Structure 1
Amino acid sequence: MGRTKQQALDTRARIIDAAERVFFVRGFARAALEDIASEAGVTRGAVYGHFRNKEAVFQAIYECADMPLDPFVVQSCEQDADPLQHLHAQLLQRLRDALHLRRARRLYSIALTKCEVTAETAAFYERVAMAALRAEAQIDAALRAASLRGQLPPDLDTRAAAGFIHAALTGFLHKRLLMSAEPRVDLEAEQTLASALRCVGANTTFKPFEPARV
């Protein structure tokens, strides 16, 4: 790769990193391209050389992130001998990651607490909504597998239950992202998840709480 092209890629990456910090502090509406340029140590023209507008920078942050738009994406549990325990373990880990991993916490904070749904961000939040539906479908599949194995009531409306669990965890995450980290957050996360699963009929003793490794 030529030096000029590598320099351009480095500049683009620096702009994206700077934009992430600016949006985290100022939110989307109050941030300007001048703020991002200043934080990145480049000119506003350099930002325009890579992105057509602020929305494009915002979209690029999430496109470059190695994480799903929805924090509660899970792998298939359908073939697992204990799908409910597997689902619990995955959701708890996703919740811990969103709360503890620095970049994940910052990006979910921006999406959930620091940006408004406007004409500029509508396309992004449509993607967020679609990601949430996919996560709910994955949770639904796990609940159906658990129901077939007798871990949940056979007449459970698993689609509605998946929506409820997803909403409960998203609400907890939203609340916690607005607060500073504290030692009890992992225990509260576990209790919230266990309560949500019990509300849909789970009668299982889940594995005990373990501190998150970060």
Structure 2
Amino acid sequence: MSIHYYQLFKKSLGFMILFALLCAGTMAALSYWVIPKMYEANVSMMIIKNPDSGSEYFYDELIAGREIINDYREILNTDSVLYEIKNEVSRQITGDSNISLDDLGKRINFESFSDSRVFTITYRDTDPYHAQIVVDSIAKVLKTRIVALTKVDNIAILGAAQLPVEPVSPNIVTNGVIAFMLSLFAAFIFVIFIDYLRSMNKKVADYKIKTNLP
């Protein structure tokens, strides 16, 4: 960095920090009071080991279980299953039937784990009670549909979803820090731009003086 820009940065540091703090405070306030808080509930499910198979088949069943989990993920994303979940939810939550299948699918997250037959389904909602009810409904419908399709009851729900207490988003601290850093960078760019315009205006003025232009 040249001496000129160093001096410019030093001279404008107070303004840049004040601007960044203002933007960070605004973002934090928006995150706290304006941006809807999202709560996440989750339920875990497991592919049950075949009781008739010996321990020597455990690894093969583990591999097969992970492949089956991928099939279950695809089944969950089908419109027919999402529609059934929507109907199940509407029987428990009045007025929640207006949610679209596309929006319902986007709020569902399906996460599986390596070397495990356990997978977790999470759902986010602005209402913690809705999140809990919906994710339990998802597990119930998915289990029923899988048993109906495969004719084998090899899936278990590992307990009901817990009511989420703290929202998972927005993250006020993270949003504030990101806003501060971006605003600080934007303020420095603005300062450089203003300095560039002043430099150009000075050059134009000096040129007019030298050439006796009006």
Q: TM-score range by the shorter chain?
A: under 0.3
TM-score by length of 1: 0.27
Greater percentage in strand: 2
